Structure 1
């Protein structure tokens, strides 16, 4: 295990740069290595059975997602606003519920799942991933007056959506849990809407943003002698994301949302300081290393555990999620959005990358559902993650470069 972890860290130190803008991306290579590990393991080994070891897999995915969410929030130059983020609000308020409903119907119709487990599948596979979508996201924070993402609405939409919707999947995970454990929806549905859907979302967003503003003001403006506290960027970044997640959860909010909003608050406290790039660079490297470890587990688990259970119905669901449900739901959500050209709307609709977040939500739900439900869902979930890595990872760089060229010709 130490050798595997060491190899993953070594790979993580050079593959992202070596394979930048290539068809063969680093996540694809690492998942392939994980598959080889799973193939070489004895058949009776349960070491990489993520459902059997759901709590460990959940913690691995959890810390990877919160680091990625903080990095995504730091990367966004555009200030948070209703008008400036209209594309994001459309994807969250319209596209995400449509995706959850579409995937749930697929699970019920094709896999024969109960309503509770079908809703769980929808919640697990609906959010796009902030961890694996770097090729279609904004590059990072810029300094100065120019806002880099102002004229790249497609990248901004995909980045901000990935930052927000990971938290908004949680209410629907709890909707599935309540359907499985609380009986008649008439007795608890209103409470779910008021607290899980609205209350915890507001708490997470407000707590995270306020913490980010306070920490950002202290880091960038408080001086010790002739030096600002920003000189200690790496500890401050780790402290901020952990504090936001912990306090957000302790106060009853969604911790993932608190982390993302804390990063937005840090940027808002001193928007043009060039040292934001140091925060982002450190978080990005940490995220890459954590991601590679999780991808090794996903690849190994797919071969040793999911593949023996794989049925044509799982393949049909995976194809439906990636090729039908997400593109149609996002396209409908973006109808009438004047910020996006037709080609940009198509790119945003198609590139809904799935990944580590889906692993987290499935493992989290195993604290409330029987393991048999997890084993029945893991083949479809893992296949969606790996297929998304291959399809989106192999085409993202080329598609985004083509989009950049068309935007340059159009003079926007």
Structure 2
């Protein structure tokens, strides 16, 4: 624990010092933690020694995904979904299941996995991560509908993919462990806790007997989240669906709680995410990356450049997006944090194919983090109108204006018309 804490603190300090540079270049904070984990883990220097079945790995993954799903849900209250559902609805209603199916086809026919394991991999890799599209979403020259589409989709698809992951994992565990009734109860109980607890807490605060001070207001949503987590564990409800439902409920009924918690909550979720990425990197080794064979690497490439683009192209037929917008949406389907944690959950599940599934997921995520985190700035600049003008044209125009200014002409005035000949 001590070496891991020292490593995390050191890498976190480095990430903070480089954060300004990362916003302007292809440098990625997520990639920094992933690479640091890989270099300092057992696969290289051995400073951080972790095994997939270590309690720390499971606990950290659980807490990080809970925090991420809670904050993701808080970004998309029902009002937000109603006002901005047309394009995100296509991406989630058609794009997500199509991506799952196409990815599963690749895992089955390229790698040769069984259908259940292939569908499990498809569900794990279907969600997208907004971290790697930050430059695109934050660029005001990118059309608002495109930024809204990527924001809403990435905020919702983690929670939508989760039931598929749990069902396929239960099926992969075998008939002896498959109890769909119990699984349905677990998922339903998680949603119930995620809706009822925040709703009651917000309604109680709105009475005349209670009121949170400005100092403690950001802790309101945190307390709600912790209560949902504790009740989910005590009742064996699904923690992740509870977290996602709780975030949506707070965003829907507690606008003040949502606004006060937003920045504070994102910092907590970001800390846990980065810690989980460091652990994930420490579990990756060169033998693991090589053990998937050329078929595994072909699958990883196809999962990134074929599955998502094909699914998005089909989903947005007739939607009115420009070619540039559709290309940006198709490319920025990065496999990020939710896929990392779902992969760790499978690895700790004990199913016979856990190691093989995790290896394919790990290779795809590593490739995605490296590719998407290094291209978000480039793709965002596609939408910069000034960059659409060729450099030679701008230089020629400045030279022409300078020449006209020196000759006493108004550079913005139209050129004088030639005198008409006498008739």
TM-score category of the 2 structures, normalised to the smaller one: 0.7 to 0.9
How many angstroms apart in 1 are the aligned matches of 2:75 and 2:169? 34
Contact 1:215 1:266 in 2 (8 A): no
How many angstroms apart in 1 are the aligned matches of 2:35 and 2:340? 17
- The TM-score, its normalising length taken from structure 2, stands at 0.76
Change (3 A) 1:270 1:201: same
- After TM superposition, give the deviation of residue 376 of structure 1 in Å: 1.7
Count of paired positions: 383
Q: 2:358 aligns with which of 378, 389, 394?
A: 378
Structure 1 residue 319 and structure 2 residue 301: aligned? yes
Q: What does the per-residue CA deviation read over 1:6-33, in whole Å, with 9 as the maximum and x for residues that have no partner?
A: 2133234444344213211211222222
Task: Spell out the pairing of 1:9-408 with structure 2 (5 A cutoff).
Answer: 9-38=12-41, 39-41=43-45, 47-50=49-52, 52-53=53-54, 56-76=56-76, 79-82=79-82, 84-129=84-129, 133-137=133-137, 152-182=144-174, 196=184, 207-216=193-202, 228-247=212-231, 254-271=238-255, 273=256, 276-303=258-285, 306-338=288-320, 340-366=321-347, 368-370=349-351, 373-403=353-383, 405=385
How many angstroms apart in 2 are the aligned matches of 1:202 and 1:316? 38
Q: What does the per-residue CA deviation read over 1:39-61, in whole Å, with 9 as the maximum and x for residues that have no partner?
A: 5335xx993343x44x5433322
- After TM superposition, give the deviation of residue 369 of structure 1 in Å: 4.3
How many angstroms apart in 1 are the aligned matches of 2:193 and 2:385? 40
The residue number in structure 2 matching 1:144 is none
Change (3 A) 1:236 1:135: farther
- After TM superposition, give the deviation of residue 365 of structure 1 in Å: 2.8
**C-alpha RMSD of the superposition:** 3.8
Q: What does the per-residue CA deviation read over 1:251-309, in whole Å, with 9 as the maximum and x for residues that have no partner?
A: 776543432343333333354x5x85541211222222222222222223223552242
Contact 1:177 1:369 in 2 (8 A): no
Change (3 A) 1:238 1:15: farther
Bigger Rg, structure 1 or 2: 2
How many angstroms apart in 2 are the aligned matches of 1:21 and 1:218? 45
How many angstroms apart in 1 are the aligned matches of 2:361 and 2:307? 15
- Which consecutive residues of structure 2, in runs of 5 or more, have no partner in the other structure? 387-423
Change (3 A) 1:66 1:136: farther
Contact 2:73 2:156 in 1 (8 A): no
Q: 1:8 aligns with which of 6, 11, 21?
A: 11
- After TM superposition, give the deviation of residue 122 of structure 1 in Å: 1.2
The secondary structure found in structure 1 opposite 2:23 is coil
Contact 1:318 1:384 in 2 (8 A): yes
Q: What does the per-residue CA deviation read over 1:118-161, in whole Å, with 9 as the maximum and x for residues that have no partner?
A: 1221121112235655445579xxxxxxxx9xx72222222222
- The TM-score, its normalising length taken from structure 1, stands at 0.78
How many angstroms apart in 2 are the aligned matches of 1:106 and 1:314? 10
How many angstroms apart in 2 are the aligned matches of 1:305 and 1:49? 15
How many angstroms apart in 2 are the aligned matches of 1:90 and 1:248? 32
How many angstroms apart in 2 are the aligned matches of 1:65 and 1:174? 14
- Which consecutive residues of structure 1, in runs of 5 or more, have no partner in the other structure? 140-147, 407-412
Change (3 A) 1:71 1:167: closer
Change (3 A) 1:174 1:263: closer
